Amino acid sequence: MSDSISFTALDWVAVVIAGLLALALLTFPFTIAPSFAGMFAEFGGALPAVTRVALSPWAAPASGLLVASLVAAPLALPAASTLALRRAMVVLAFFLGVIALAAAMYAMYAPIFELAGKIKPE
């Protein structure tokens, strides 16, 4: 095991991927949500609660800020801090980002799943 206190190349790859997840979450209400909102307006009727929350301008960016802070904190910590803690924060940021982005995308498709569930075969 290395006595190095700096990130390796693999650590930096994780930082970049987690940063991209944070960016995707921060831009979600401006890039992905408007096209779905337009489609849902044509559906008419009430949307599921998860979809209404995901379409709000604060839900995905709040998750993105959490992920971004978990990525930025290990980079701002002094080099003398423990490497294991810094790596754990980046891994946590990655998993939270993946879960939040998956939840946001599920929320966009929830009305479509609900509509498909109402179709009765004859």
> With contact defined as beta carbons under 8 Å apart, do 104 and 28 qualify?
yes
Six token digits for residue 92: 């946590």
DSSP label at 78?
-
Any residues with CB less than 8 A from the CB of 60 and at least 6 apart, and which?
Answer: 25, 26, 28, 29, 33, 54, 100, 104
Position 3 pLDDT exceeds 90: no
pLDDT band at 17 (very low <50, low <70, confident <90, very high): very high
Encode pLDDT of 46-86 as tens digits: 899 999 999 999 999 999 999 999 999 988 887 766 888 99
> With contact defined as beta carbons under 8 Å apart, do 58 and 22 qualify?
no
Encode pLDDT of 56-67 as tens digits: 999 999 999 999
Any residues with CB less than 8 A from the CB of 57 and at least 6 apart, and which?
Answer: 29
